[in-house]
Each structure stands twice: as structure tokens, then as C-alpha cells.
Amino acid sequence: MASGLWPLQVFDVQAEFAVVERRLPHWAQAGTLCFITWRTHDSMPQSVINRWHADREDWLRRHHLDPHPADGKNQLSKLDPLLQAEFVREFSARWQRQLDHCYGACVLSQPAISQIVADSLLKFDGDRYELTDFIVMPNHVHLLAAFAHEKGMLEQCTSWKHFTAMQINRHIGKSGSFWQQDGFDHLIRSENEFEKIQRYIAENGQNAGLRPTEYRHYSKPMASPK
């Protein structure tokens, strides 16, 4: 797929890629579209987080995996691809549904604040990265973007979150943490998956029962990735 920077692509397991281990593993591959989610620091009650982690650990143990490996490495790669897909469907989808309950102060529902996030995402589009879609929800953000090199995704997310946190805190008269430290990211595996996530982003606000003024959606007209 032609773009302003490079041909966008889906994940190629045969090509070079990187995995950065933080609180969550982050996979990155130059030029490959990535689905990224950030959430505000107050977007999930601790009771919901605890239940999610307990059920996740139980699932891993039932499939003979250590949920807390000594080397810190992700254990899912040891499973059959069908089981890996089941895990992602169960726990990623469940997490996204919880976010859509709109816990927390939900200041991103204010048009002036969602505009801060939108302006930051679009500022270097076509320069540092290629952005195809995003939605700013009341307590989280989803976006689809590709980066020129493996380190680009984490570096740019850190930049986006740092800048927008300062601007938003200034706007609401607060200080301290605004975004949760770690985000969720997933390399797009196929053209069908790309289109499915595009639809999910486009329909997220309406499906969560929000008014049009409570979220901000953007999609760049372009062809599908190869």
C-alpha cells in the first residue's frame, strides 16, 4: 500500500522484527501497521484489574504455562496458534469492553481535550510515522499507525503521551500522572484484520452508547495494506 513514507504492510514473521519486554511485551516491525491503545490512569477500577489478572493467570496455568516466568518472557509463543488466538480474543476483547464502561473522570469526552490528543497524533503524520485511523474515547485512545523502525513505536508513544499529558493537565488545572504507563499494542497480521480493526475503531463510540460530541474519530482515505 503506497503512503507518504513507505509501503505499509502487515506483520511478516520471516522479516526482521523486535520484541521489547516491559510490563507487557511490545512487538515492532518497521513499516508494519500496529493497533495501539492507551488509557487514562483512572480508567479501570482496581477490582476489575485484579479479576482480569486472576482469570488470565488461571487460563495460562490451565494450559501449562507459567504466568510469572523467571525470565520475564511471554509464554504464549509456546502455544498452538489457535490457542494463542483464543487467549487474545478472551483477554484483549474483555479488556476493551471494560474500557468502554467509561470508568474514571473521562475528561477526554470534552471536545477541547480530545482535540489536544487529535492534534498531537496528526502533527507528525507523514513525517515520523504513517497514521491511518484513531478514536479518542472518554478514557482511552485507539490508533492504527506504522513506524519507520522498530524503536519508533515506543519512542513516539512516549512522546505523544508526555506532550498530551502536560497539555491536558494544564487545561484541567491538575498535575501528576494522566495516562497509564504501559499501553497495549498489536502488530496487524492480515488485510482482513486491518479492516476489522478499522471498523472497530470507527464504531467504538457508537457501540459504547456515546453521543457524537463525546468521542473524536479520524480515518485517512487509503488503500488496504499488502
Question: Which domains occur in the chain, in start order?
Answer: 18-43+104-219 (3.30.70.1290)
Q: What is the pTM of this model?
A: 0.75
| pLDDT (tens place) for every residue of the chain, 226 residues total | 444 544 555 444 444 434 343 444 445 566 788 899 999 999 877 777 778 778 888 888 888 888 777 654 566 777 787 887 777 777 677 777 777 788 899 999 999 999 999 999 999 999 999 999 999 999 999 999 998 876 778 899 999 999 999 999 999 999 999 998 877 778 887 888 899 999 999 999 999 999 999 999 999 986 555 5
The DSSP annotation for the chain comes to: ---SSS--B---TTS--EEEESSSEEEE-TTB-EEEEEEBTTSS-HHHHHHHHHHHHHHHHHTT--SS-TT---SGGGS-HHHHHHHIIIIIHHHHHHHTT--S--GGGSHHHHHHHHHHHHHTBTTTEEEEEEEE-SSEEEEEEEESSTTHHHHHHHHHHHHHHHHHHHHHT--S--B-SS-EEEE--SHHHHHHHHHHHHHHHHHTT--GGG-EEEE---PPP-
